Amino acid sequence: MSGSCTDDRDRNRELELEYRSFSLPLAAPLETGDGTIESRDGFLVRIVDANHEGNPAPVGYGEATPLAGWTESLEDCRDALERAESAVQVDPETALETVSDQVAARHAITLALADLQATSRSTPLYQYLGNGPLVGRVPVNATVGSGSPAETAQEARAAVERGFKSCKLKVGQRSLETDLERIARTREAVGPDVELRVDANGAWTVAEATRALETLAEYDVSLLEQPLPAGSLDGHADLRRSVGEDGVAIGLDEGLLEHGVDAICDAGAADTVILKPMALGGIDVVRKIAAWVRMLDIEPIVTTTIDGVVARTGALHVAASIPDVPACGLATADLLADDLGNDPVLLENGSAVVPQAKGLGVEGVWDA
């Protein structure tokens, strides 16, 4: 089946999985409503088809970069990859089963298997996944941290000068008053045509979110991501009803991880869902959710968890395989001070240029 991460086209493959640890400091700590991220530690994974005839043997890359509160711990991720290292010699399905509860590890394996398949077929990963047309670009949003009102406005302005047409501000770290001022100052700084979004990472109460929504509407903010704690499904459904059809969209991120897509749809809790391959357990999971929510008129937005180049580029391919995907949170390379290798993805005019080489299109990460 095309687009799945396993494939029984050639049954006499002999897959070998290896992994290496890495640590990537952030350029500056990212403060979110549910914690501060200072560095991203994880594992680079590669799967080689050792039985391949001809040289060089195809290789697929994956990345497992756990994030506290979002995925399994670094230790559990390492243990899961160790299990997968043995299991993959049986077959890929078995490897995936042994890590089914470790979302970051499972993500790495789905990505490495799909990259291997796409590379073997000399197809860009997104085309292998989506079976679809050529996609040149995916629109992306700038991710703006929790600075003062002046810093926030200045950061967003700088992003717009670099070509971004959508900016997402982190909120919920400062007082509501200050956050609303940050939004007002940012709108002033970027003008009327730039899309503004905000992400509270669950930091607000219903009363705060209700108040914030008035200001968000006033400053034409299009999306409010995870205003209330993840557990609050009915709270988000109520907010959504209070905003009405053409108002600020309500997005769920942590709430999707906690409740799953069916519960969100049943409750009517979201206009938009945030799909993080690393936190949801893999690129196959994200593609399935995206296809499902689209049928229910819910928009899928693909983002990273501030990942290295392998997972970031993987997320871009996943986004490129979703027709007409809205601006995605994939412009996170600059948040890292170091990376696993060269970034094959250019940002141009507010869009990420999708690599058209075979597979992921990421090179030299294992040698680096």
Ligand X SMILES: O=C(O)CCC(=O)c1ccccc1C(=O)O
170 counts as catalytic: yes
The answer to whether 253 is annotated as binding is yes
Can residue 222 be called a binding residue for ligand X (CB under 6 A)? no
Fill in the per-residue mask, 119 to 158: x = in contact with ligand X (CB under 6 A), - = not in contact.
----------------------x-x---------------
**Which does residue 141 touch among ligand X, Mg ion, none (CB within 5 to 8 A, set by kind)?**
ligand X
Residue 283 main-chain phi, psi, to 5 deg = -75, -30
The answer to whether 225 is annotated as binding is yes
Distances (CA, A) of 135 to 37, 97, 115, 302, 312: 32, 32, 17, 16, 17
| DSSP conformation letters of 124-164 | BHHHHHH------EEEB-EEE-S--HHHHHHHHHHHHHTT-
Question: Minimal CA–CA distance to 64: which of 52, 56, 74?
Answer: 74
Fill in the per-residue mask, 24 to 53: x = in contact with ligand X (CB under 6 A), - = not in contact.
--------x---------------------
Which residue number, 3 or 145, has a Cβ lying nearer to Mg ion? Answer: 145
Q: Which H or E run contains 235?
A: helix 233-243
Among 72, 155, 179, 199, binds Mg ion (CB under 5 A): 199
Among 31, 253, 271, 339, binds ligand X (CB under 6 A): 253
Name the residue with tokens 């997972």: 311
Question: Minimal CA–CA distance to 149: which of 177, 175, 173, 185?
Answer: 185
From 130-138, 207-215, 255-263, 301-309, span contacting ligand X (CB under 6 A): 301-309
From 74-82, 225-233, 256-264, 332-340, span contacting Mg ion (CB under 5 A): 225-233
The answer to whether 97 is annotated as binding is no
**Which does residue 114 touch among ligand X, Mg ion, none (CB within 5 to 8 A, set by kind)?**
none
Among 13, 107, 165, 168, binds ligand X (CB under 6 A): 168
Residues 79-108 that bind Mg ion (CB under 5 A): none
Q: Which residue number has the CB closest to Mg ion?
A: 253
Amino acid symbol at 113: L
Amino acid symbol at 156: A
Among 7, 49, 72, 253, binds Mg ion (CB under 5 A): 253
From 52-60, 83-91, 109-117, 192-200, span contacting Mg ion (CB under 5 A): 192-200
Shortest distance, position 106 Cβ to ligand X, whole Å: 18
Q: Which of 165, 168, 276, 358 is catalytic?
A: 276
Q: How far apart are the first and last CA of the chain?
A: 34
Beta carbons within 8 Å of 166's beta carbon, 6+ residues apart:
139, 140, 141, 142, 194, 195, 196, 197, 327, 350
| DSSP conformation letters of 26-47 | EEEEEEETTEEEEEEEEEEEEE
Question: Minimal CA–CA distance to 219: which of 162, 152, 163?
Answer: 152
**Which does residue 166 touch among Mg ion, ligand X, none (CB within 5 to 8 A, set by kind)?**
none
Name the residue with tokens 């059809």: 245
The footprint of ligand X (CB under 6 A) covers 32, 141, 143, 168, 199, 201, 253, 274, 303-306, 329, 332
Task: Give the residue ranges of the annotated binding site for Mg(2+).
Answer: 199, 225, 253
The footprint of Mg ion (CB under 5 A) covers 199, 225, 253
